[in-house]
Amino acid sequence: MDGFGSDFSSSAGSGKMDTEHIMEQVKVQIAMANAQELLQRLTDKCFRKCIDKPGGTLDNSEQKCLAMCMDRYLDVRNTVSKTYSSRLQKERARI
């Protein structure tokens, strides 16, 4: 019985490590899903805006339009994200 008890206590300690490892994996997967969603939205919006006639290559104006569209989209997303984070911090400080 003593052998079982010591095995159990050592596995209980590793259970916490396993939970932390799983939580880290979930956080990474969520971050990857968010990045994929951002890329998909960016592609959809900028493609619709900049590409009139899809073909095998992009002309100069399409390339410039895509670059500007992507830059603007990312700037706006970063601004919104920073503002949202700032508001969350202010709300948490009030509680």
List the domains of the chain with CATH numbers. Answer: 2-94 (1.10.287.810)
Q: Read off the pTM.
A: 0.61
The pLDDT-based confidence of 9 (bands split at 50, 70, 90) is very low
Angle, vertex CA 88, rays to CA 87 and CA 89, nearest 5: 90
| pLDDT of 8 over the 80 cut | no
* High-pLDDT (> 90) share of the chain, %: 67
Alpha carbon 48 to its chain's center: 23
- What dihedral angle (degrees, nearest 10) is formed by the CA atoms of 64, 66, 68, 71? -140
